[in-house]
Amino acid sequence: MRPEILFPLFASLDALKGVGPKLAPELERLAGPLVRDLLFLAPAGLKRRTRATVAKAQEGVLQTFVVRIDAHAPPHRRDYPYRIRVADETGFMFLSWFKGYGPHLAKSHPIGAMRVVSGEVRRVGVEASIAHPDYLAPAEAADSVPELEPIYPATVQTSSRQVRRFVQAALERAPELPEWQDAAFLARQGWPRWREALARLHAPESEADLEPQSPARARLAYDELLAHQLALQARRSRVRAEPAPAIPASDLSARIEAALPYRLTGAQARALADIRTDLASGQRMQRLVQGDVGSGKTVVAMLAMADVAAAGAQSALMAPTEILARQHYETLAAPLAAAGVTAILLTGRDKGAARTERLAALASGAAQVAIGTHALFQDEIVFRDLALAIIDEQHRFGVAERARLQAKGPSAHLLSLSATPIPRTLELTQFGDLDISRLNEKPPGRKPVSTAALPTTRIEAVIARLRQATAEGAQAFWICPLVAESERLDVADAESRAASLRERLGPRVGLVHGRLQPAEKDAVMAAFAEGRLDVLVATTVVEVGVNVANATIMVIEHADRFGLAQLHQLRGRVGRGSAKSACLLLYEPPLSTSGQARLEVLRKTEDGFVIAERDLELRGGGDAVGLRQSGLPAYRLADPFVHRDLLLAAADDARLIAARDPELSSPRGQAVRVLRHLYDWTAKAEQLSG
Ligand code: ADP
Ligand code: MG
């Protein structure tokens, strides 16, 4: 239940005087539907007005003058402005209005009246003027013209000043709230209390006050981050409180592990131990395993599935594409079968008797492991006892799809696998409700991929190198440039690149792109995987996770157009075998400084976690769009990059609160309740991580 003290802030916008059916939707677009939302609408800038005499009027500057009305000059032609001449003892200037201003100006500003006027000055020759003054009021009211004025976003119907008026009205409704921040922490940071922080947010006194690190903004950002972390925490403990089958580690799994041609890396062993602890707990697992391409997530998943099979239950592994599902099936079916575990493959393409038979095996429990695509959660698929749902490349699936798979086993444990390492800060905001294991160690024996950046002018040399390498039996990927927003152009580029490579290198050059039918795509990929093609030209559809151990060269055209994380992913396609691999990043000269910096990061490291951190740094907090696209919550004042230290502190704080006062019954706990309701993150958090 929402605490009563917050009621005035949860009123809809039209509760504010002057906000009617016309303005409400406009303001809502800017801020949100509630009075509360206006409070958090931060000014984006600051206007400064200086007092001046007419003689000191300055082009392009916001100035305020005290003047006498001298003369009215109504327009003598339609498209002329209405003008008023005004003067002080140093000279005269003009005020002008276009369109439809007339008699009322004459009436309200009679000749001889003293006025304060403020606006942006224009100067043409000696003549100074202000078009549509911001302020024109009796001189006695000169104090009502502010010297500093926050600038708010405006819309067609609302000016920044109107928005400001409503923000002020919202502020008047804001009560003093109990302090939810830790008193010592607050004092150490030197932050104001909530109400005061808001007042300062909306009354900046200098540019420094607009900075995200200013005490008022930092405090409000921290509130927001803390509220979000608390909501994620609560969600996590709610899910964890749901009962799920307790599955112990098994001999069966140990046998499969012992039969592997390699030993698990330390990171794999740790991830598996995390998973086993979760599975055995009797509480529902919600775990994400993050690890670079090639870090060996599949085998970890397989050993967990073996534990589930040993307990007499079923697992499902869902992959985003047909090719990947098939590849998983090919790697997993045999070792599982050797231990007596039956796996089936289920994709959209399986039809007829084979499909019926597989469905029956799932329904009866004859098959303990299902590997497949989206086909796994279609209505007619019934599991006898699904206890573990595994989602590979989880970011490729929507929340709804993940939920549908999990619904096949209402109390199934959930394991997500992701090959997109993300920085710790983003991890907290995106996956704060999941437990995370990181595979930050590669299987041994991998040779580093030597990475070089070359201008496109060197393309002939690259092709010559390819010719030599393929003659020696190597295989290569050639990634074609990303043409902004046009898949058609991407395809055209890839087609002509493939044609020109065939001319130079002979017929063993294949082409895949997003426009191919799935069956065609699979056929080309398969030909490449089986070594019947030397070079695979591709738009970026080269499937995440596809494993071709013999591919040792990756050429990326227009590498400067790809994001760092994407380049890293692409590079991850090579260097999977034990042979030495190379990645050639072609760029169109001249390369921008930021482009240079990004390619440099790639040349220096192959650690996806490091690259992700650097990527975030290089993009900075400025790339709000990119961050949004990566699924970040829409914070109002907090910026997970700029405020990353605060985010880490908020996550710790939320954990402490949950541990010390889970019922939120202490005085601070009571205040924290108010915070949680104020931000009302619950609904959003559910949408975010389903
Ligand atoms: P990803 O994390 O990208 O899904 P995979 O699970 O596909 O990685 O593993 C990539 C390759 O590494 C596979 O060929 C797999 O057999 C191999 N592999 C996995 N773990 C190890 C290990 N501990 N030692 C050696 N090779 C391993
Ligand atoms: Mg994988």
| Coil, strand or helix at 328 | helix
Mean pLDDT of 451-462: 92
294 lines ligand 1 (CB under 6 A): yes
pLDDT for res 573 = 85
Mean pLDDT of 495-515: 90
pLDDT for res 405 = 82
494 half-sphere exposure, CB direction, 13 A CA radius: 31
pLDDT for res 623 = 44
Q: In what order do the strands lie in the sheet with 509-512?
A: 449-455, 581-587, 551-556, 475-479, 535-538, 509-512
State the distance from the centre of ligand 1 to the C-alpha of 551, rounded, in angstroms. Answer: 15
Rounded to whole angstroms, the Cα distance separating 407 from 320 reads 18
Are 423 and 612 within 8 A, CB to CB?
yes
Rounded to whole angstroms, the Cα distance separating 555 from 572 reads 12
419 lines ligand 1 (CB under 6 A): yes
Q: Does domain 251-439 have CATH number 3.40.50.300?
A: yes
pLDDT for res 42 = 94
- The CATH number assigned to the domain with range 50-145 reads 2.40.50.140
Does residue 131 surpass a pLDDT of 70?
yes
Q: Which residue has the tokens 């699979």?
A: 522
Confidence of residue 257 (pLDDT cuts 50, 70, 90): very high
Domain boundaries, the chain: 50-145, 251-439, 449-605
Mean pLDDT of 334-361: 93
Confidence of residue 543 (pLDDT cuts 50, 70, 90): low
The pair of structure tokens assigned to 49 is 């007005």
pLDDT for res 688 = 37
Confidence of residue 626 (pLDDT cuts 50, 70, 90): very low
Phi (first) and psi of residue 76, to 5 degrees: -100, -5
More confident residue, 618 or 113: 113
Confidence of residue 99 (pLDDT cuts 50, 70, 90): confident
State the distance from the centre of ligand 2 to the C-alpha of 297, rounded, in angstroms. Answer: 6
pLDDT > 70: what percent of the chain? 94
Does residue 135 surpass a pLDDT of 60?
yes
Mean pLDDT of 591-619: 85
pLDDT for res 351 = 84
Does residue 685 surpass a pLDDT of 60?
no
Confidence of residue 236 (pLDDT cuts 50, 70, 90): confident
State the distance from the centre of ligand 1 to the C-alpha of 106, rounded, in angstroms. Answer: 83
545 lines ligand 1 (CB under 6 A): yes
Does residue 248 surpass a pLDDT of 70?
yes
As a whole number, the mean pLDDT across the chain is 88
Whose C-alpha lies nearest to ligand 1, atom 25?
443
More confident residue, 615 or 54: 54
295 lines ligand 1 (CB under 6 A): yes
Q: Which CATH superfamily is domain 449-605 in?
A: P-loop containing nucleotide triphosphate hydrolases (3.40.50.300)
| CA 149 to chain CA centroid, nearest Å | 32
267 lines ligand 1 (CB under 6 A): no
Q: Which of 215-219, 477-481, 488-492, 600-604 has the lowest mean pLDDT?
A: 488-492
Whose C-alpha lies nearest to ligand 1, atom 13?
296
| Coil, strand or helix at 127 | strand
Residues 6+ apart with CB under 8 A from 236: 286, 432, 433, 434, 435
Mean pLDDT of 279-300: 92
50-145 and 251-439 in the same fold:
no
Give residue-wise pLDDT tens across range 29-60.
888 889 999 999 999 999 999 999 999 999 99
Relative to the alpha carbon of 264, which ligand is closest? 1
pLDDT for res 521 = 83
Confidence of residue 682 (pLDDT cuts 50, 70, 90): very low
pLDDT for res 166 = 95
Atom of ligand 1 minimally distant from the CA of 572: 3
More confident residue, 336 or 569: 336
State the distance from the centre of ligand 2 to the C-alpha of 290, rounded, in angstroms. Answer: 10
